[in-house]
Amino acid sequence: MTTLLKTKTILFGAAAAIALSACVPANESDPNANRNAGAITGALIGGAIGATRKGDEKLTKAAAGAIVGGLVGGAIGSQLDRQAAELRRDLTTNGVSVVRSGDQLIVTMPQDVLFATDSAAVRPDLQRDLYTLAGSLNRYPDTTVEVIGHTDNTGDAAYNMRLSRQRAQSVASILVNAGVPSYRVVPIGRGEDQPIASNLTAEGRQANRRVEFIIRPTR
């Protein structure tokens, strides 16, 4: 097999590994899952570098670019692993969840953790988790966060949309007041449009009344 063919084969294998790692759900029990995936990909691309030492210059440059991308991806994955583990440790209120989905973290807080019924004002005694989240965002300044308000389908849809936006804005204001720059915080209201459970039961409606925080690393 020629050097050119070997190089193409290795580069194809590395690209396939990257694609497959993006499609496999993260193992929530493994705090190093993203970092390990990056390390495997880096090893494959390292082989491509060796194969191109006497080969085509364009392939050498492509392999170098790929390994840089792999290193960046591994660093982002490692950061997500650390931040997710810290948030799971520090956000101890019942019902609060932290889930990693690809290159983002989703923190979900039930309405009851933050608001009284039909209110957009965050109760002072329930703001602790928001300050904890703000602290995490301040420790990881190369991230942005979408604050997304959701309601159940009880009542008027337009009212629910308006309430969800007001709640998202109230929560975003607390994060900003806690030191997170406003350009990193995007409040969004979804009303009753994105339920995660059936609105036909009290339990389902309670699950749908929530605020989600979508944390993404900046590139």
Among the residue ranges 43-47, 199-203, 214-218, the one predicted with the least confidence is 43-47
Task: Parse the chain into domains and list their residue ranges.
Answer: 3-86, 93-217
- pLDDT tens track for 121-160: 998 888 999 999 999 999 999 999 999 999 999 999 999 9
pLDDT tens readout for residues 19-35: 455 444 455 555 555 55
* Eight-class DSSP state of 117: T
User: DSSP assignment of 23-56, as one string?
Assistant: HSPP-TT-TTHHHHHHHHHHHHHHHHHHHTTTS-
CB 209 within 8 A of CB 155: no
pTM for the full model?
Answer: 0.71
What is the Cβ-side half-sphere exposure of residue 145, based on CA atoms within 13 angstroms? 29
| Class in CATH terms, 93-217 | alpha beta
Residues 143/215, Cβ–Cβ less than 8 Å: yes
